[in-house]
Amino acid sequence: MEQQEILALVEKKAYEWLNGKYDDATKAEVKRMLACEDKSELIDSFYRDLEFGTGGLRGIMGAGSNRMNIYTVGAATQGLSNYLKVNFSYLDEIKVAVAYDSRNNSPLFAETTAKIFAANGIKVFLFDALRPTPELSFAIRQLDCQSGIVITASHNPKEYNGYKAYWSDGSQVVPPHDGNIIREVAKVKVDNILFEGNPEKIIMIGKDLDEQFLEKAVSVSLSPDAIQKHKDLKIVYTPIHGTGVKLIPEALARMGFTNVIHVPEQDVVSGDFPTVISPNPEETAAMGMAIAKAKEVNADIVMASDPDADRIGVVLKNDKGEYVVVNGNQTALLFLYYIITRRKESGDLKGTDYIVKTIVTSELIADIAKRNRVELFDTYTGFKYIAEVIRENENKRRYIGGGEESYGFLPADFVRDKDAVTSCALMAEIAAWAKDNGKTLYEMLQDIYLEYGFSKEKMKYVVKKGKEGADLIKLMMKNFRSNPPRTLGGSRLLCMKDYLFLTERNLIDGEQTPIELNSTSDVLQFFTEDGTKISVRPSGTEPKIKFYIEVRSSLSSRADYDRVDKECEEKIEAVVKELVKE
């Protein structure tokens, strides 16, 4: 479509907003964009409708159909309300819980959401102030709700906000509900949105839920004696201006730790995230102030949470006294190794225990599970799929932990999403346990590699913006499917797994076998003769194609760690050059 055609359609939609049931401030903003000589902002604000996807909404805040505002939030809530009333028509009363994080406009969007639910006759439990996403998941189950909403854009830049929808089990919505809700939301026009409801339908919640959640969070402890001996462990923690400040320091205190060191500038709750470019604990830059504080006090461990406190970032001190950021695979590895080891030591592996990881997460976890006779489930990327496994195994097997490479971990199933609150408490305990065994956490990680083999992982992404970019990403996936590489990193490819068609193909003899999963996903995986694994998938929320690369080696001593790590890094870079064409 030509630029002039796009502009004509955009202007037509903008004038509909000027004449529609929108507030004066919104109309003034639309008028400003229409009057502006540069039409790029107007086009970006109106060229499409912000889609309610499988995880809800996420977008830049502002006026327009492609922006996060009370009208896009309102349409999502009205559509969800309509679906809930049909799906739970047999109940006398439908209940939902609503929470929000530290982002700009989060309180406004949460209040708007609550009022619309109330206007539809739905009882709302609204948190009285910002709260972590995992507490919202907990509240849904604790209060016997049929759904829940948290207003957050996770670790996206400050211009963004979002709307995540949850189901009655406390997990983000999955099929068939996600598709059904999407269809209901698509039907909603601004005139259909019931913005004002019965305030008596809205119940404010807070402190009591905090108490119940914190009690559960500290119940995951497996080594209370180690905490008692090392309660003065030096822990630097930062919420990076987010909701973690509400509960994580308290969870650490209740776990028994007495020396939690703050980064005062980042305890300030602010949607502007004034001390960082991006509030993402996956990025070393976001951890800079916490690492500086750790150097100042000679901390044993550094931990961070993202704005809605579902992801955990961890920094360890290496054998040279340097503070190093561990990746999400290593974080999951530490958690699951510790949980399995401690349960085994205490005679608490029951034979029905299982762990969960995503298919792009390190295969070293699978080796640990297999050797310790703990069942492992592999899922698609996204914690809603881990929650789905938990739901399917309820009252049959015991969940003891699950994680993904993108810095998410869930230590216990009283929450059904990533949980940085409980994870921070447990990671601090792991550091105390390591110290009780005469090791640093860094040495514990090395010892895992010594026992199970070395693994190094890296995620590389390529951004392809706009419709052309989306088409190019589709073409790239098509080419990988039809013409898989013969070798990668100097090693012959053995097989390809295609999760869109649920088939595994042996690339040596051509034999195909089915992959037994309940749903499909646009993901390809390649496995080489030397143990390298490459996963390729388009991002579900951003204009990116992602490549997850894992290479394997052996480690014979701690002294060899740096050499082996460097060799694996060089191999990853070689694979990236072969595979990723910018």
Q: Which residues are catalytic?
A: 154
Largest CA distance in the chain: 72
Number of other CB atoms surrounding residue 3 within 10 Å: 9
Are residues 255 and 218 in contact, defined by beta-carbon separation less than 8 angstroms? yes
Place of tokens 């959640």: 213
Q: Which of 240, 239, 237 is nearest to 302 (CA)?
A: 237
Residue 65, Cα to own-chain centre: how many angstroms? 26
Are residues 182 and 399 in contact, defined by beta-carbon separation less than 8 angstroms? no
490's tokens: 């100097």
**C-alpha–C-alpha distance, residues 299 and 343, integer Å:** 28
Cis peptide upstream of residue 279 (ω within 30 degrees of 0): no
178's tokens: 């996600």
Sequence-ordered list of residues with C-beta below 8 angstroms from that of 110, at least 6 positions apart, any chain: 98, 99, 100, 126, 127, 149, 151
**Beta strands at 123-127 and 95-100: parallel, antiparallel or unpaired:** parallel
**C-alpha–C-alpha distance, residues 411 and 423, integer Å:** 6
**C-alpha–C-alpha distance, residues 578 and 487, integer Å:** 9
**Beta strands at 235-238 and 260-262: parallel, antiparallel or unpaired:** parallel
Residue 13 DSSP code: H
The three-class DSSP label of residue 581 is: coil
**Beta strands at 160-167 and 147-151: parallel, antiparallel or unpaired:** antiparallel
User: E strands of 351-428, at which residues?
Assistant: 353-358, 375-379, 398-404, 408-410
